[in-house]
Amino acid sequence: MARPVLPLVRSEWVRLNRHQWSWHEGNCSELLVDGARYFPAMLGAIGSARRELLLEFYYVRSGALMDRLIEALVAASEREVRVCLLIDGFGGRELASADRQRLIRAGVQLAVYNPIRLRNVSLNLARDHRKLLLVDGEEVFTGGTGLTDEFYSGATHQPPWHELMLRLRGPVVGDWRTLFARQWWWVTGEQLAAAKMPPPCGHQRMKIATTAGPLHQGIKVSFRRQINRAEQRVWMVTAYFLPSWSVRRALRRAARRGVDVRLLLPGPYTDHPWLYHAARRYYHQLLLAGVRIFEYQPRFVHAKVSLCDDWVSLGSCNMDHWNLRWNLEANQEVQDADLAAKVVQTFVADQADSQEITLAGWQQRPRGHRIFSFVVGYVSALLLRLF
């Protein structure tokens, strides 16, 4: 029987998610840009699984991509691989009943975190926003993708949503499996076998960072600490930009002490236009401090990655008030110059497809645009703080 989800009340839930993860040496990673790269890699890994597949995803919807994934999971289950699929009750609401039954009939264990309730609306705000695929306890894919057609348009076309994923091997994979096992136990009551730490495979230093509501802000605290330590650069890509006052202050201070601070944010293509305008409410003070802001033009940039010197954080967490207050989030932190260089290369390429918002241009906006941005931004920020 599924356990009740009371994330801001139950002390048991709080203890479960306030784990302090450790740094591990000897890991390796591959940065995968867009679904045309990472979905074939994920499907290939599922196809080669021998013992166990563990999946935890927020945004799951029936469609062409999900059909391919279901086929791969069903085939894995038929060759006696254990398959556990954990989806969020709100983010997975568009996974059709026929698809759910197809998975269950094939032996896939399907669990739902915090199904939508009508009696207690406030509990519906708590969501599992993590994204990860674990293969045989040896390999993990994590980042910001959903299992929907927005992220994949086939091998020859760019998907409408621009996303980044990491493919990981090494000792840190053991922590990812522990993280999944705790959530699986909380939702289903079933205790998975203890995780084994995989052997070293490279030279990268890694640590998991998590967020679990206002009582555990590990991702934000870690990012703010790295901003304060940065000497060369602080670059960030996020789909929704409504950071706390402390993060905004850290960004401004870093820019004023000569650090190259850049933000790559969504432009006109976004799934939440009101959040786009709410984010613009913070532009003026950031621009005054010397922060450079780029709005990505071709597609919706859905990625969530932060870069401070050679420290990289990539995962599920957007830098916005809602994510940090209500969601379960997980990012992979990596201290490595090689991965940082690959992130820089991707950021620079995306920057070329962006419109830079300059202080002079921002101050010269028509009066009507200023009033509209202020009103929409103020109301949006107020609503987010009320909830």
- In the annotation, is 309 catalytic? yes
Q: Which residue has the tokens 């009939």?
A: 105
Choose, from 260, 271, 272, 309, the residue flagged as catalytic. 309
Q: Which residue has the tokens 């940039």?
A: 301
Choose, from 24, 216, 220, 302, the residue flagged as catalytic. 302
- In the annotation, is 272 catalytic? no
Cβ partners under 8 Å of residue 165, min gap 6 = 31, 32, 38, 141, 142, 143, 144, 145
- In the annotation, is 369 catalytic? no
Query: From residue 145, how far is each of 4, 82, 94, 317 by CA, in Å?
Result: 27, 23, 16, 11
The answer to whether the CB of 343 falls within 8 A of the CB of 306 is no
Cβ partners under 8 Å of residue 267, min gap 6 = 295, 296, 297, 301, 354, 355
- In the annotation, is 304 catalytic? yes
Choose, from 99, 128, 129, 207, the residue flagged as catalytic. 129
Choose, from 136, 260, 271, 310, the residue flagged as catalytic. 136
Choose, from 24, 34, 131, 149, the residue flagged as catalytic. 131
Choose, from 207, 216, 220, 304, the residue flagged as catalytic. 304
54 — phi, psi (to 5°)? Answer: -120, 125
DSSP string, 26-54: EEEEEEEESHHHHHHHHHHHHHH-SSEEE
Query: Helix (H, G, I), strand (E, B), or coil: what is residue 270?
Result: coil
Cα–Cα distance, 80 to 82 (Å, whole number): 6
Q: Which residues are catalytic?
A: 129, 131, 136, 302, 304, 309
